[in-house]
Amino acid sequence: MNQFLIFILLTLLKIAVVTVVFLTAVAYTVLLERKLVGRIQNRWGPSRVGPFGLMQPLADGLKLFLKEDLMPSAVERPLFILAPIIALGCALTSIAVMPYGRDIRWHGVDMFQIANINVGLLVILGVTSIGVYGIALSGWSSNNKYSLLGSLRSTAQMISYELALGLSVIGVVLRTGSLNLRDIVNLQATHGVLSWNAFGGVQIVAFFIYLTAAFAETNRTPFDLPEAESELTAGYHTEYSSMKFAMFFMAEYANMINVGAVATLLFLGGWSSPFGHLFPDFGGPIVHALLPVFWFVAKIFCFLFLYVWVRGTLPRFRYDQLMGFGWKFLLPLAIANVVVTGLVLAVHG
Amino acid sequence: MSVPIAWYLILSAALFSIGVCGFLIKRNIISIFMSIELMLNAVNLAFVAFANRWHQVNGQIFVFFVMVVAAAEAAVGLAIIIAVFRSRNTLNVDQIDLMKL
Amino acid sequence: MHLALFIIFGLLCLGGALNLLLQRHPINSALSLIVVMSSLAVLYLLLGAEFLALAQIIVYSGAIMVLFVFVIMLLNAGLEEKTHGSRAAYLAGIPGMLALLGVLGGTFFTLRSSFGSARLGAYLATTHDLAQVLFRNLLLPFEVTSILILVAILGAVVLARKEH
């Protein structure tokens, strides 16, 4: 019984720490984006609140929290309130199955992953696919043509790109022979960059497909048609204000981090160092435990940087181009990747 | 603490009956279609319960095939619904009972 | 634990199914069906079918029901009207449902001792087990279903296309 109590307490501790860190990361991703886009457009970005504008997320949060929460009169109230909760809830869930460090046990509890699940990868895909409802319902319940158009676009886009996304992951799963995220990372942890799935595992095509589909799944430029401000005012969250809007906003940035984390786990070796076991005895036990977390965060940071860079560089697709690209290019490419990977694995065993 | 398999089966029977009832009393063609999905799901639960009873995966394989067929059925069914709505401009089954327009 | 989870999610299933029956707007029915399907996924997990539980979430809740919601939004389906056809259906449907439930439930209840009971963790079908059966013994049916899916995709495209 005592063991059970320790397990519960440690798990709650892990959940609390990960959630707080994750939410802080979400807030600072917004700042990162504003700063970087500012630099790309040759301006400073937010710089007034705190040193280098570092307290800006706090000010933003306070502003959104104190604003009046408008409830338009023609909306479908229960669904209107439910939609942002679904969006944010799903965005915050998938971090629960991701390993963010080595399997180091304290009192028999793995301290660097909240839940080690046999089908962890499918959990992430499932939670992502449920997240679509947040956007679909927000558009429908708002009773506003811009919202409805935005959410229809978004739903169609997410269904289409989910296919390519799911198929691109299969190459990695074939190579590992497991859906457990720890197994997937462990396979890549031996020889640094050379054993990462994207390079040593020759899943570079799958990596490209995943990355592109992930941009579409998170509704980011160049695929941000659901909220194309020049056509749809703000897309599916036109009618939302105050904290409900903030929840959609946080969900979007949390999804960016999620997608970056999944790409890291599947293709870039997760928490493993890019040098492999070249420096095995570097530092003491604490460094040994925390260095993988650093690598994991650093890789996610690179993805976030890429996101912002793409946003600052590429224009938006037209809707038919978006659909054509997903169905006629990415999907066949993903299927070809699965076939080739399967054949190679069948020949080499 | 264990749960008798029979409870799962009774739950499955209840869901199936509700699906049948929905199929009969619903007038919206989309709701009728959803009742069919509910019946399929109820049967799936029974399959999984039996798979657990006999400790065999075959029951789960059945569910797998049912899911695949349900996905195909949903795609075709919804396409038919869209086509019907285009030509008749209604979703009420009582007004879609003639073969000709 | 098992019992508590079974009761919670079993009740969610039943509540969702009844709500599907009682709601008059299709989008509310669709949402209750999503609740039913997701709760069923938890029940599958309790019965040791981990892959199926997640497949249920991804395929049913995440793909099929999204299509339903999408079509409801696209066609802007409104409240259901009561028509002359529905009264007859009520007269036949509700007693029919009770009779069906009585027969099935009664049968399962009288045979309950022969079904045994399920314990949490006593049986787990891994993805590996499932794949062994699916890709060794049942390869032909698997391929036939994939052709079925292909035909369904083509059919859906042909049906939903606007004629010029």
Per-residue model confidence as pLDDT tens digits over B36-71: 999 999 999 999 988 888 888 888 898 999 999 998
> Would you say residue A210 has pLDDT above 70?
yes
Q: For A134-170, how does the pLDDT look when each residue is reduced to its tens digit (9 = 90+)?
A: 888 888 888 888 888 888 888 888 888 888 998 999 9
Q: Name which of C53, C125, C35, B66 is nearest A126 in CA terms.
A: C53
Q: For residue C57, list chain A residues with Cβ-Cβ distance below 8 A.
A: 126, 129-130
* Tokens of residue B4, six digits: 């008798």
Distance from CA of B94 to the nearest CA of C (A): 6
Residue A20 within a domain: no
Distance from CA of A45 to the nearest CA of C (A): 38
Q: For residue C48, list chain B residues with Cβ-Cβ distance below 8 A.
A: 52
Q: Which of C38, C66, C127 sits opposite A179 (nearest CB)?
A: C127
State the pLDDT at residue A228.
Answer: 66
> Would you say residue A1 has pLDDT above 70?
no
- Which H/E stretch holds residue A222? none
State the pLDDT at residue C143.
Answer: 92
* Long-range pairs for A292-300: beta carbons < 8 A, 24 or more residues apart: A292/A100, A292/A101, A292/A102, A292/A112, A293/A100, A293/A101, A293/A112, A295/A271, A296/A100, A296/A101, A296/A261, A296/A264, A296/A270, A296/A271, A299/A260, A299/A264, A299/A268, A299/A269, A300/A257, A300/A260, A300/A261, A300/A264
CATH fold label, B5-95: Helix Hairpins (1.10.287)
> Would you say residue A35 has pLDDT above 70?
yes
Lowest mean pLDDT among A105-119, A158-172, C133-147: A105-119
Mean pLDDT over the full length of chain A: 85
Confidence of residue C85 (pLDDT cuts 50, 70, 90): low
Phi, psi of A180 (to 5 degrees): -80, 125
Distance CA(A268)–CA(A300), nearest Å, equals 10
State the pLDDT at residue A248.
Answer: 87
Q: For residue A159, list chain C residues with Cβ-Cβ distance below 8 A.
A: 63, 66-67, 70
Contact A124/A51 with Cβ under 8 angstroms? no
Residue A60 within a domain: no
Q: Kindly report the number of other CB atoms within 10 A of residue C110's CB atom.
A: 10
> Would you say residue C164 has pLDDT above 70?
no
pTM for this structure? 0.88
The torsion defined by the Cα of B33, B39, B43 and B45, in degrees rounded to 10, comes to 100
Please name the residue of chain C whose CA is at the shortest distance from the CA of residue A83.
Answer: C31
Residue A275 within a domain: yes
Distance CA(A191)–CA(A197), nearest Å, equals 11
Q: Does C130 touch chain A (CB under 8 A)?
A: no
Residue A161 structural domain: 69-348
Contact C19/C53 with Cβ under 8 angstroms? no
The domains of chain B are located at: 5-95
What domain count does chain A have? 1
Q: Does B52 touch chain C (CB under 8 A)?
A: yes
* Tokens of residue A227, six digits: 């909220």
Find all residues with CB under 8 Å of A204, minimum gap 6, and list them: A198
Q: Name which of C27, C12, C21, C24 is nearest C65 in CA terms.
A: C27
Rounded to 10 deg, the angle between the A331-348 and A145-176 helix axes is: 10
Q: Does B62 touch chain C (CB under 8 A)?
A: no
Contact flag C58-A179 (C-beta cutoff 8 Å): no
Q: Does B93 touch chain C (CB under 8 A)?
A: yes
Q: Which of C52, C93, C141 sits opposite B48 (nearest CB)?
A: C52
Q: For A234-283, how does the pLDDT look when each residue is reduced to its tens digit (9 = 90+)?
A: 777 777 877 888 888 889 899 999 999 999 998 888 888 877 777 666 67
Distance CA(A317)–CA(A216), nearest Å, equals 11
State the pLDDT at residue A262.
Answer: 92
Phi, psi of A112 (to 5 degrees): -115, 25
Of the two residues C87 and A20, the one the predictor is more confident about is: A20
Q: For residue B63, list chain C residues with Cβ-Cβ distance below 8 A.
A: 49, 52
Residue A34 within a domain: no
Taking residues B95-100, what's their average pLDDT? 75
Taking residues A218-234, what's their average pLDDT? 74
ipTM: 0.89
